[in-house]
Structure 1
């Protein structure tokens, strides 16, 4: 069975803990950075958006390795039409390796972005529980 890597924001490993089916290989979580993207809060939402940036910005997150296609399909469904899965290059901060990973990029109305960074701790305290579970 083929597996892929997925880059996600700090919150997404919380989501991965909710997968209720086994994988052939253990899922590995490593800190990683994605260059030329920015994370933003969304107006009237508890979840974040990740968008390309022309500035030399970067976003720290997690690269999740050994994700099965079944898990990717489930995550695609969870993310919905507001996001598009794209292949990006991330830098694994644990190994120093640059690798391709799938990442969910915001493709909905850019007017919904707050322009302020999204806060994981606030999300865990005040965010919609449905946004934290697959």
Structure 2
């Protein structure tokens, strides 16, 4: 949710639930609260370290709401999420208080994508992939400070599950 000072609240449900990742991306820590998003399912994406969500009437996704993001921080998220995600306004329920809150989140643009499967697990991600994802975010921030070269190649290469070759397009 945006206010007149350009502050945003964003529901995150994957790697951005991890405070260390958020601190690297925004170069500062952020307040967050636990929340539940109904009407969506969180999927694994074949070959990638991060999840996505798509609409599903009976689905529920737990995550966190990052509070007080600036316009520039929201642009960072937009760049990281890229064209595969669409930023949408959704309603979440805060876990501690049952308060409803209008926030923004990133929804997978292709809900029929054949690479979506199962349920993404945050604890498993922390154990197996956090360090690699942290490296990818550090590279993104280096690129942002010196934007020569292709961000897509530099970042996408690092968030692939197998560390495969960088995309050619």
Q: TM-score, normalised by structure 2?
A: 0.68
1:97, distance to aligned residue in structure 2 (A):
1.3
Number of residue pairs aligned between Structure 1 and Structure 2? 128
Q: How many angstroms apart in 2 are the aligned matches of 1:27 and 1:74?
A: 14
Root-mean-square deviation (CA, aligned residues, Å) is 2.0
Moved more, 29-38 or 86-95: 86-95
Equivalent residue in structure 2 for 1:5, among 2, 9, 23: 9
Q: TM-score, normalised by structure 1?
A: 0.84
- Other structure's SS at 1:41 match: strand
User: For residue 79 of structure 1, what is the aligned residue in structure 2?
Assistant: 81
Q: Is the 8 A contact 1:46 1:126 kept in 2?
A: no
Alignment of 1:1-134 (within 5 A): 1-14=5-18, 15-18=21-24, 19-20=26-27, 27-54=30-57, 56-108=58-110, 110-114=113-117, 116-127=118-129, 129=131, 131-132=133-134, 133=137
Q: How many angstroms apart in 2 are the aligned matches of 1:37 and 1:131?
A: 24
Larger relative contact order, structure 1 or 2 (CA cutoff 8 Å, min sep 6):
1
The structure that has the greater radius of gyration is 2
Runs of 4+ in 1 over 6 A off after TM superposition: none
Select the structure that is richer in strand. 1
- Other structure's SS at 1:110 match: coil
**Runs of 5+ consecutive residues of structure 1 not aligned to the other structure:** none
